[in-house]
Each structure stands twice: as C-alpha cells, then as structure tokens.
Chain A
C-alpha cells in the first residue's frame, strides 16, 4: 500500500485571548493537538506568568526563598523583579492574605495593591483570589474596578461565585479565568453559565484543575486531552477557550520538590525539575499558558517549548 502520513483533520480552533494594556500577551490559537507542527496551527507561543503574593509567604521552599526572599515584603518590587530580571511575560498576583484564615485582609486593600502593581509594571496582570468562594467574589469585584482599563485576567470564577466575578469582568472590561474540577462537563457547564449571563466566549480562559506531577497529574492530563479533542475535532465552542495552568503553587507543595532526602539527590535541582516537569506534562496535555515560580524552571520550560516549536 502507498505510504500515507496520517494527518488529523481538525474541525475547530482554540480561541485567542489577548490581555494587557500597552504590552499585550495573547493566549491560545492552536489549530491542532499540542505542538504538532506538521499539521499546522501551532500557537504563536506559550506565555508564562510569574506568581507573586500580596504578603510574604512563610512556607515556600528554600530554593524560592533564595530568589525572592528580599522582595517578599514588597509585592511591587517582587513584580518588577519578575518582569525585569526574569523576563516574565505576565505577572500573576495571588491575593493570598485576603483569605479569612490567612489574614483576612480587605477587598479595598487588595484593590489598592492592584493599583500600585499596575502603575509599576508594563506586562499584563493576572489577579487571583485566595480560593475562598465568598471572599474571592468580593475581592475580585474591588480589584476589577481598581484595574479598570488594564484588561486583566480575573480568577478564579467557580460554579458557586461566577456571577459576581463575571459581572465585575464585564463591567470593567476584564477577562475571566474559570476553574472547574477535573471534568469536561463541569468545564462546559461553567462556560455556558458565564456566556449566558453575558460574558463573551472570547473573554474566558479555562483552568480544568492543574494537578502536580505525582499528585494527580494524570487526571488533569486526561481531562485536558478530552477537552482538546472536543474543541478541535468536534468543534465544541463551549470548550474552545484557552487553558492556563497554575503549575507553581501545586508543584511546590510536593515534598519531592523541597524536602532534603539523600536518596532523592540534590534538593534544588530536584525542585526546579519537579516544577518544570509538571509544566511540560500540562503543556503536552493542551495547556496554552503557565503560572510558575522558579526562574530556572521557567527558563528550562521555555527552552523545551522552543525545541517543540522547531520543525
């Protein structure tokens, strides 16, 4: 039989979402399964956001403390360090201290901080709540107003609080990061609910739950592959939103990333590789953008992505 290179036929494309004001960043746009250049439609790039907190973290790994320790107390300085020294494509500000159990700082304080960070940086800003359903809604509402005009990505909207966050995004021209729990139908449902209330499809970015290497990666991986199949082959518009993976926070929870252990070898290199491998695993599953912590992990992931995009 004649030799035939098996090419997949795709019936849909991933949306593009462009965030930011003067310096913009575009997520998404793939027209094929991840990095299959021979089938065309590889996205232009994989933007990486560096994660910063609104308060000094107390239990981050030593490998991270040695990089960021000096700026932990000053989120603006921290953001600038990521942008200027480590060439962050975006900054992701996690408003950790707004969580009722972690300081319960106010929504208006969060809004003030967002204003300060936006005044200082040039790259786009992702604004993340502390993952407390009620407080996040209140905080993100205040931050949406504070960030008006800056076209930020607000996250994460979940099934129980998407109305407030969606409304705030619409009112102030921001994008919505929608989080669902490892199920394609839940992801679809949340997108349907958001679009029904008036958020445009092109304003939504998805997180189908970013599990770390060794702690559930395979669940994220299989859900994301299903989502991509539905988006690209069945042209299912309700899952064609780009996906951003919250890698850093999950990967650095693992003991393998930060605990000294003679049998496991050098702790610092191990942590960097644990974060980078989680990122690569999620990229190969269909992720369009990453939120990461360690600059060397980011550099290594960027190098691997460059190799993947080479013909």
Chain B
C-alpha cells in the first residue's frame, strides 16, 4: 500500500527550505506520494528516511528476468489479487522438468518435443516458457552433458537445479551469458547459492517446505547478502496447502505486511503424481492463483494446449480483450 503525503511528510526534514524546488515540505511530500517527483530532489533527507521511502515506493512484487535472448521470461510486477481489479501482468512460464539421469537420446527427444510446441490462438503464440534441468544424478559430468543436450535442442531459457554448488557452478560456466535461474537456496546452503548468484549475475530461487515465515526469513537473508532477483518456492504437502501459501504470499506482498515475500513464486504442479491429466489440472489451479513459474514433469501437446489456453484466458487484460486483428485473411 503506497504511503500517503502525510505519512511521507513525517520522514522529511520539515524545514521548508525550498531546496527541492517546492514551497514546503508538505508540498514535496504530496508530489512524492503521486510519484511526480524523485526523493533525491531533497538534499537534506537522512539516509534512513531515504531507504524507508525507497522501499515503500518499490513495486510490491519484484520483476525478475530469466534468460537473455528474445525468448527471455519476465515475471513479477503483479499488483492485484483479482484480475477484475485491474489486470494480471506477466503470464506464468510453463516449465518442463528434465533430469540428468535420463539417457541422452530420450532427453533429446523430450526437449525437441517441448521446443516444437507452439499454438497460435487469437494472434498469440503460446509456448512452454522454461526448461528445468535437474542434477538428480549428483554427478558433474552427467549434469554438463544434460545441459549441453538441452542447449543443442532448444532455445528456451533454463532453470539449473541441484544441491551440489560445485556442479551448479560447472553448469553456470557453460551458460555464463544466458542468465538461467539457479535452483535453489535452502536453509542449509543459502550462502553458497547466493555467492553463485552474485558471481554469475543470475536470479536465485529460495526454497522452503516449512511455514511461510521461514521462507520469508530465508529470502531476507539471501537479499541481505546482495541478491536482489529472488524467486520464492514454497513447497507444500498438498494442492490445498499450496493454494493457501500462494494466496498468503500474494496478499502479504501487496499489503507489504511481511518482509521477504515481495517476489514472484514458482511451484511444482504435482510432485506426487505421474498422471499427466492430474498434473495439468493442478497446474491449472496455480495458473489461476498467483504462480509465475509452474514446473511439469510431462509436457505433451494435448496437455499443453488446454493449459496454455487457460493461461492466455486468465492473463488477458479485461480492458483490452484479445481480438484477431482486423484484416483480410486468405482462406485455404
């Protein structure tokens, strides 16, 4: 919730010196409240006050970019709980998870298949957004091999997932210019992960299966180490628990009622099932409620068409309904 003019005024020197170009501190405060003047215009404001005001005027949910090519994925910057209040901003990236324990041929086949998915609907091209490569083998060479296979068959941005920092670093060396998302900082390794994120200038997922307060604390610690581009991953025991957590995070971020939650959120659609229909439906729940990255284990054409259509429907701006562009089209 943005600060009012009066609330901002309390942080100003209140000397009415006019150095900012406005007649009184209250006038300047009103301009700040409407975002019509930068806070730097006041040469006498204390550093503490500056920090408070900067934080208050920061967008509630940080913008995070994954990838660097024209397929890069932008998430965050959301401002509402309900689409009808204004609009949702960045549709979630539907993400295929692959493990480096899969043989090279099978892996290549899977990647080619998800890379080829592209549905044209009402003038938009609907595709999967990201590929998550998991170091399930815990072996460095297998991880490198898998990453190279993925790169050779797809141009989608990546999430590099693993528990071993050295293996992750080897992967980051290959992708050094491509800004993958690093998965993930947990309570027992966040310092090493933060170091990687800073070294390679990559966004970092922060993951916790504990209560939200612990996730928030962990994110704050990671932010305190200098990592700004964070993606939260609450790990829930059930779909209902996941829904509750994502709802609470969105509310807390928008109300700024808890530090450490002002970031986009990633979820695994259905870690506990291999049924592709059920997984797609769980993913659908998260499309409707606040997820920015949704990880699937399977991504067949027939699954992605309904899921991507749902994403398109929910993420249209109510003020600007999608329309086919007026034109003369050739039939046949």
Using CB atoms and an 8 Å cutoff, list the residues of chain A in contact with chain B: 1, 3-6, 8, 33, 35-38, 213-214, 217-218, 221-222, 225-226, 229, 256, 263-267, 269-270, 272-274, 276-277, 280-281, 284-285, 296, 300-301, 303-304, 307-311
B288 contact set on A, CB distance < 8 A: 221, 280-281, 284-285
Indicate if the CB atoms of A307 and B277 lie closer than 8 Å: no
Name the distance in Å between B221's Cβ and chain A's nearest Cβ: 14
Q: A35-B240, A229-B82 are in contact. Are A213 and B309 (CB under 8 A)?
A: yes
> Can you name 6 extra interface pairs (CB under 8 A) apart from A218-B83, A273-B306, A280-B281?
A4-B252, A5-B252, A36-B243, A214-B309, A218-B318, A274-B306
B282 contact set on A, CB distance < 8 A: 304, 307
Q: A5-B212, A310-B241 are in contact. Are A36 and B247 (CB under 8 A)?
A: yes
Indicate if the CB atoms of A6 and B248 lie closer than 8 Å: yes
Q: A35-B240, A277-B280 are in contact. Are A6 and B255 (CB under 8 A)?
A: yes
B19 close to chain A: CB less than 8 A: no
Bound form: Cα–Cα A37–B119 in Å: 36
Indicate if the CB atoms of A270 and B258 lie closer than 8 Å: no
A33 contact set on B, CB distance < 8 A: 247
Bound form: Cα–Cα A263–B303 in Å: 12
- Could you list some 16 contacts between A and B, CB below 8 A? A5-B252, A213-B306, A214-B313, A221-B83, A222-B83, A225-B82, A264-B119, A264-B305, A265-B301, A266-B300, A270-B305, A273-B277, A280-B284, A301-B281, A304-B239, A311-B237
A6 contact set on B, CB distance < 8 A: 248, 251-252, 255, 257-258
Across the A-B interface, the 9 shortest Cβ-Cβ residue pairs? A265-B302, A265-B301, A307-B239, A310-B238, A6-B251, A270-B302, A284-B288, A222-B84, A218-B313
Name the distance in Å between A143's Cβ and chain B's nearest Cβ: 35
Name the distance in Å between A131's Cβ and chain B's nearest Cβ: 24
From residue 274 to 307 of chain B, which have CB atoms closer than 8 A to chain A?
A: 276-278, 280-282, 284-285, 288-289, 300-303, 305-307
> Chain B, 112-143, contact with A by CB distance < 8 Å: what is the 0/1 string?
00000001010000000000000000000000
Name A300's contact: one of B277, B303, B309 (CB within 8 Å): B277
A229 contact set on B, CB distance < 8 A: 82
Indicate if the CB atoms of A304 and B281 lie closer than 8 Å: yes
